[in-house]
Amino acid sequence: MRRIVWPAALACVLALVPPGSARDERVVKLRVGDLVDVAGTQIACQIVVSGALSPGRSSVSCLKEGPRGLPVAGSYAVTLTATGAVEAYMFTKKRQVKPVYRHRAGLGVQSRYITARPGDLMLVPNSDIVCGVRKPSGAQAYVVCFRANSKGLQRTGSYTILCSDRLVAILHIARDGSPRQVFEHSNP
């Protein structure tokens, strides 16, 4: 059943149509090193300069964290880089990172602590990455990040990441704008 609900929710999210009123929405210009907690969830995202996946470029990684701020053993995380590369990885019982999906694209900082709420949009520095926090009526909140075109819409031919307390997913956005799920896994 979840596989039917998520694509429908994702179709709404991909258009990034704000579900709330304008007063509920804010735009946050992020900086490298910023940590973002999604209010009402265990989801946290961090803005970093990529290493091997997209050297020297900004990226956003989102994961489910436990009570001490550590990744939940058995949970998954997703990363999107400014070059469009994506990666999903699992945290083992010993919290070691195990890559489970990767698509490479062709192509010492002070941190802020930010709490993101449904309706918030976040702009990743030195990139075209936009992240939004969504909470459909009757459902849990989740964060979605994608590369935006000059009109603020998702770039066709690129990837989108999604992270919630229950699920992580990576979608490929076809040339016609339709999303195709390329990776999905439940979070414990």
> What strands lie across the sheet with 35-38, from one edge to the other?
97-103, 86-91, 76-81, 58-64, 43-49, 35-38, 113-116
pLDDT at 113: 83
| C-beta neighbour count of 29 within 10 angstroms | 10
**Structure confidence by residue, pLDDT tens digits, 88-101:** 999 998 888 899 99
In whole angstroms, give the CA distance from residue 75 to residue 168. 9
Domain boundaries, the chain: 2-186
In whole angstroms, give the CA distance from residue 172 to residue 184. 12
Enter the DSSP assignment of 11.
H
User: Phi and psi at residue 181, in whole multiples of 5°?
Assistant: -70, 125
pTM: 0.69
With vertex at residue 182, the alpha carbon angle to CA 31 and CA 154, rounded to the nearest 5 degrees, is 45
How does residue 131 score in pLDDT terms, banded at 50, 70 and 90?
A: very high
Of 73-77, 86-90, 102-106, 125-129, which range is least confident?
102-106
